[in-house]
Amino acid sequence: MYQPEHSAHTGATAHRDDRVQFLVTADETSLAELQSQLALLPLCAKGRVFVEVAEPKDVFPLQVPMRMTVTWLPRSVRGGRPGTGEGCAPGQALRRAVRAWTAEMLCDGPGDTQAILTGDFRGVSEVYEVLASVVGMPEEHIAAPERYGLRNGADRH
């Protein structure tokens, strides 16, 4: 089996991906807004889209840039707080998914990752908290609905 020498991998031959990574979140209350936001992304955008909905029947094809992955999170097939037997509350699946994704994909820090948060206040505020407080993403990299007042009323939509 051929194994290239380490010296063969130089800065001149290495591919560097300078595209900004995007994290986009939504729920069933913001599907039209989600589609509008996705249409505004560059065709070469990369990243992840998480959409929380009530039931698996609420899932439909979304048009996203080729390098973006969509994950649907139907609450009816997820549990709530561990050990309680409760169902998944609105915003809960979204928060868990974002927490897991950031732990894996942003383990070296948020870098230039941009977040676009849409949906109900509960989901948006919980994801915002994870990104700003846990991950340390700069507030100017997080776009959230102005009406929620999550960061001095600033809105990048």
**What are 22's strand-pairing partners?**
47, 114
Residue 3, in any domain of the structure: no
Residue 85, in any domain of the structure: yes
pLDDT of residue 2: 36
Could you tell me the pTM of the whole model? 0.83
pLDDT of residue 58: 97
| Domain that residue 130 falls in | 18-148
Residue 69 main-chain phi, psi, to 5 deg: -110, 135
Per-residue pLDDT reduced to its tens digit, 59-104: 999 999 999 999 999 999 998 877 777 889 999 999 999 999 999 9
SS3 23: strand
Question: Which one, of 121, 143, 148, lies nearest residue 40 by Cα?
Answer: 143
Residue 4, in any domain of the structure: no
Residue 12, in any domain of the structure: no
Question: Which one, of 115, 130, 121, lies nearest residue 148 by Cα?
Answer: 121
**Terminus-to-terminus CA distance in the chain, angstroms?**
51
pLDDT of residue 8: 40
Per-residue pLDDT reduced to its tens digit, 6-46: 444 344 434 345 668 999 999 999 999 999 999 999 999 99
How many structural domains compose the chain?
1
pLDDT of residue 7: 40
pLDDT of residue 87: 87
CATH of the domain at 108: 3.40.50.80
